[in-house]
Amino acid sequence: MSQPRSIKIFDTTLRDGEQSPGASMNLQEKMEIAQTLVDMGVDVIEAGFPIASPGDFEAVREIATQIRGAEICGLARSHEKDINRAWEALKHSSNPRIHVFLATSAIHREFKLKMTPDEIVRRAVEGVELAKSFCDNIEFSPEDAARTEIDFLCRVVEAVIDAGATTVNIPDTVGYATPDHMKNCIEQLVNRVPNIDKAVISVHCHDDLGMAVANSLAAVEAGAGQIECTINGIGERAGNCSLEEVVMAMRTRHDHYRCDSRIDARRLVPASRLVSAITGLQVQRNKAIVGRNAFAHESGIHQDGMLKEPTTYEIMRPEDVGFASTDLVLGKHSGRAALADKAKQLGFNLTGDQLQSVFEEFKTLADRKKDVFDGDIRALIQHRVVGKVQEQWSLVTYQLDLPYQQTPKISLTLKKGDEDHSVTVTDGTGPIDAAFLAVTQITGIDLSCKDYQVRSSSLGRDAQGQVTVQVEYEGETHRGQAVSMDCIEASIKAILNSVNRILDAQQQPRGEVVDVKSSV
């Protein structure tokens, strides 16, 4: 039997994924995700859109400089300024790729770009030629390709390959395509573009109709050699093709697709948890492959079948995608080595200092809680290491009086530098509102709360509460997260985490900010 075709996995969690509302990540978080992607075997990491903001530029530059083991890609509109900026950020990579895009559909040509088809072809070719003067590895995307007239799409694709594009990516920008449509589109390119063999065909599907994975697989069947996707399928609007789903579909149904990827599937669940913890975007319980219920059998008939023979109801084994066979882990007698081992299993690469800081908190937790589960460890690491920002404001103590159905009273003391600041607030509709009011009074940062979520990090009544808040400040959305066995403490700390993130962001250099969907 012939060898399965190897499909390149291009991960855009750090670029398109970051375009999910509220999912912006800081540099350290992006570095952590980039390393996880490399460890997992991703071929190409789209690290960001360097012209979009100074933060994006810095993230692409740092990832290009420090991360090895995957191609590092930066996005640019087909515009001199964008491409120069992308190269500035990417040039330190040992394996850089510039990704140039320009919309091609009639609707975008007419209403967004106000350019004729000839002008589009010229601009696309100029962009690719400029990018090619910097590096060999060039991807071109005709944005909204799935709604572009097929004759014009063939013309653009041929022209950009002639200009030096080594990958041509076919985006379904608005998630409009069906599997047949996508398959037909790729087949037409394969059959009608004379120089198509000089480039890899890629596909980039959005999930507005819930068909991103199916559309990507249909493109692969028709000859695409690269899939663009994100961890947990996060991305603009309804998101992108989910990496874990498309990878496992090819692997589990290789009898049908006859292709595979380099991905180490045992890293899928840890990567999913990491991205969810960092972005605050929770994974639905019934999500294929990585949802908490993906392998949970509830019905008696299913359980009976599973006990007799797992393959009666299971097409994949949970351990093959990275679910731990047992969740019960450490206790107060566990040492540093056991913690380091567990962190690794959960997909975190901790330095010596990070391990020490997590270990200290682990010991405190283990004193209060008999069984420390994977979820507890993950939450600690997330809090102490991954999502860490400079703690300008920290919690010293609080006291809450909460008489039944009466206005709460909260006394709060925070620390900034060496100074304590205290306030007592008797106001608010409940303890969380009161906490927001007290933090605002002390810090002077008036937050508008857009979302507040609390969930348990593990099993049992003594589980820690993981709190995520989404707040708006001066028109921008920020996130805050914290964990504690005391949910009120976790809530105050999550609010403070969002304040510290705002202060952190204010210290970053500010420059031009470009909307990714804006015209050229």
Per CB under 6 A, the list member of 20, 35, 148, 173 interacting with ligand KIV is 173
Run of H or E including 422: strand 419-426
Distance CA(92)–CA(60), nearest Å, equals 10
User: Are the C-beta atoms of residues 152 and 117 closer than 8 Å to each other?
Assistant: yes
Q: How far is the CB of 198 from ligand KIV (least distance, A)?
A: 20
Mark residue 178 as left, alpha or beta (left: phi above 0; alpha: psi -120 to 50; beta: remaining).
Answer: beta
CB-count burial class (<10 Å; 0-12, 13-18, 19+) for 313: middle
Q: Does 16 bind ligand KIV (CB under 6 A)?
A: yes
Q: How far is the CB of 333 from Zn ion (least distance, A)?
A: 49
Site string for Zn ion, 4-23 (x = CB under 5 A): ------------x-------
User: Interface residues for ligand KIV in 344-403 (CB under 6 A)?
Assistant: none
Q: Which partner, ligand KIV, Zn ion, none, binds residue 143 by CB below 5 to 8 Å per kind?
A: ligand KIV
Q: How far is the CB of 401 from ligand KIV (least distance, A)?
A: 51
CA angle in degrees (0–180, nearest 5) for 150-154-158: 170
Terminal Cα-to-Cα distance of the chain (whole angstroms): 48
Per CB under 6 A, the list member of 204, 342, 478, 493 interacting with ligand KIV is 204
Q: Are strands 465-473 and 448-456 parallel, antiparallel or unpaired?
A: antiparallel
Q: Are strands 419-426 and 448-456 parallel, antiparallel or unpaired?
A: unpaired
Site size toward Zn ion (CB under 5 A) is: 1
Q: Does 20 bind ligand KIV (CB under 6 A)?
A: no
Q: How far is the CB of 300 from ligand KIV (least distance, A)?
A: 45
Q: How far is the CB of 15 from Zn ion (least distance, A)?
A: 8
Per CB under 6 A, the list member of 17, 55, 171, 387 interacting with ligand KIV is 171
Q: How far is the CB of 407 from ligand KIV (least distance, A)?
A: 48
User: Are the C-beta atoms of residues 268 and 290 closer than 8 Å to each other?
Assistant: yes
Per CB under 6 A, the list member of 10, 57, 87, 101 interacting with ligand KIV is 101
User: Interface residues for ligand KIV in 139-168 (CB under 6 A)?
Assistant: 141, 143
Q: Does 13 bind ligand KIV (CB under 6 A)?
A: no
Q: Which partner, Zn ion, ligand KIV, none, binds residue 347 by CB below 5 to 8 Å per kind?
A: none
Residue 418 φ/ψ, nearest 5 degrees: -100, 0
Count Cα atoms within 13 angstroms, Cβ side, for 9: 28
Contacts of 9 (CB under 8 A, 6+ apart): 41, 42, 43, 44, 226, 227, 229, 243, 247, 261, 262, 263
Q: Which residue lies nearer to ligand KIV by CB, 127 or 171?
A: 171
The footprint of Zn ion (CB under 5 A) covers: 16
- Using CB under 6 A as the criterion, which residues of the chain lie in contact with ligand KIV when the complex forms? 16, 101, 141, 143, 169, 171, 173, 204, 206
